[in-house]
Amino acid sequence: MGSFGRVEIAVPRARLNTPDGKTTEWKSKALRAYQRRTLAADALIASTYLAGTNTRRVRRALAALFGGAVGKDTVSRVWRKVKSDWDAWNARSLAQEPIVRLILDGTVVRVRLDRKATSISLLVVIGVRADGQKVLLALKSMGGESTEAWRAVLDDLIKRGLRRPEFLIADGAAGLENAIAAVWDGVPMQRCTVHKHRNLLAHAPERLHEEISADYNDMIYAATRQEVGARRKAFIRKWRLKHRAVADSLEEAGDRLFTFTRLPPGQWRSVRTTNAIERLHEEFKRRIKTQTVLPSADTAAMLFWALLASGQINMRKVDGWQTLATKPIDQPIDLAA
């Protein structure tokens, strides 16, 4: 049974000859033993339940799609399986994961706490493997983005065997940067250029936003390291005179806003921002758009994970993955203005 309805499949039985002259039972790689539902069907049932619907309502809601084949016992079994897989995923070893880069950011979801709709932060960590493939490593509801909250997330990753990363991309929040400094001091870090762009606009009246954005984008998306540096100096000089708070905000970010220039240009697009996490969140919101408030913080994190685990949301390789083995040059951008 899948999201396309009920389909009967005949699975052949056969035995295969082995190199040692014996035989072994053939097993399908596409269809697991005793599997009755596709992963997408299980994810659909689980996501409906996680959205705050009880087993009876899930059965009624999905009756037309599954031809009445989903009873409350099926819903309960699927929920127990998803919960078990979620717990196992949170406890899995990361010692064999060839992670070379991390993308870290917090994303906000609306949940019901004490019968009131409340915005909470989910702390998200995406790893980039040596072959460029992105993989979700952690998804935690910690109540906020404090240093203590992020430190708990990072300590858990290290406890489970995560190796020291070679490069970090973060949103620039003080709590996250403090936590990173405590466990991975010295690892090159890129501060998200999109977050800094928003910071700059917040320091100026709306009538200046278009001009600030044009100058900022000319700087950030310059073609070479030398051009980025030259345009940064021009930006600082101009905005010191025109609106000092904007220049001060850019200087506050220091050289971490330009760490991407220490890497091969082919990687710049993927390392400048934490957009990989923001894109995941946008896809997550699109799939739950009719459910404006989720029932709890725990189910919000679990639903986010379930959509990824079932393949309904996919992550591709990072741009420039062919040069991931290239180490950042040991020369930060010149900050003199």
Least confident among 34-38, 173-177, 195-199, 246-250: 34-38
Shared-domain flag, residues 61 and 199: no
Rounded distance between C-alpha atoms, residue 8 and residue 14, angstroms? 19
**Does residue 23 sit within a domain?**
no
Per-residue pLDDT reduced to its tens digit, 260-295 = 999 999 999 999 999 988 888 887 777 666 566 666
- Which residues, at least 6 apart from 298, have a Cβ–Cβ distance to it below 8 Å? 141
Tell which of 91, 116, 141 closes a domain.
91
What is the rounded average pLDDT of the residues 85-93? 93
| Total of domains in the chain | 2
Please tell me the predicted confidence (pLDDT) of residue 56.
54
Rounded distance between C-alpha atoms, residue 260 and residue 328, angstroms? 9
Query: What integer best gives the mean pLDDT of the chain?
Result: 84
- DSSP code of residue 5: B
Shared-domain flag, residues 177 and 298: yes
**Does residue 221 sit within a domain?**
yes
Tell which of 61, 91, 121 closes a domain.
91
Shared-domain flag, residues 47 and 109: no
Q: Among residues 322, 313, 319, which one has the least CA distance to residue 136?
A: 313
**Does residue 329 sit within a domain?**
no
Shared-domain flag, residues 74 and 212: no
Shared-domain flag, residues 86 and 187: no
Q: Which residue has the higher pLDDT, 333 or 223?
A: 223
Per-residue pLDDT reduced to its tens digit, 198-253 = 999 999 999 999 999 999 999 999 999 999 999 999 999 999 999 999 999 999 99
Cα 268 to its chain centre, rounded Å, is: 18
Q: Is the pLDDT of residue 52 over 80?
A: no
Shared-domain flag, residues 151 and 59: no
Burial class (CB in 10 A: 0-12, 13-18, 19+), 99: buried
**Does residue 336 sit within a domain?**
no
Shared-domain flag, residues 114 and 232: yes
Shared-domain flag, residues 155 and 172: yes
**Does residue 126 sit within a domain?**
yes
**Does residue 188 sit within a domain?**
yes
Shared-domain flag, residues 103 and 62: no
Shared-domain flag, residues 66 and 209: no
Per-residue pLDDT reduced to its tens digit, 240-264 = 999 999 999 999 999 999 999 999 9
Structural domain of 262:
99-323
Please tell me the predicted confidence (pLDDT) of residue 54.
47
Percent of the chain with pLDDT strictly greater than 90: 50
**Does residue 335 sit within a domain?**
no
Shared-domain flag, residues 135 and 238: yes
Tell which of 73, 91, 109 closes a domain.
91
**Does residue 291 sit within a domain?**
yes
Please tell me the predicted confidence (pLDDT) of residue 327.
86
| For the chain, the helix, strand and coil percentages under 3-state DSSP, each to the nearest 5 | 50, 15, 35
Shared-domain flag, residues 40 and 138: no
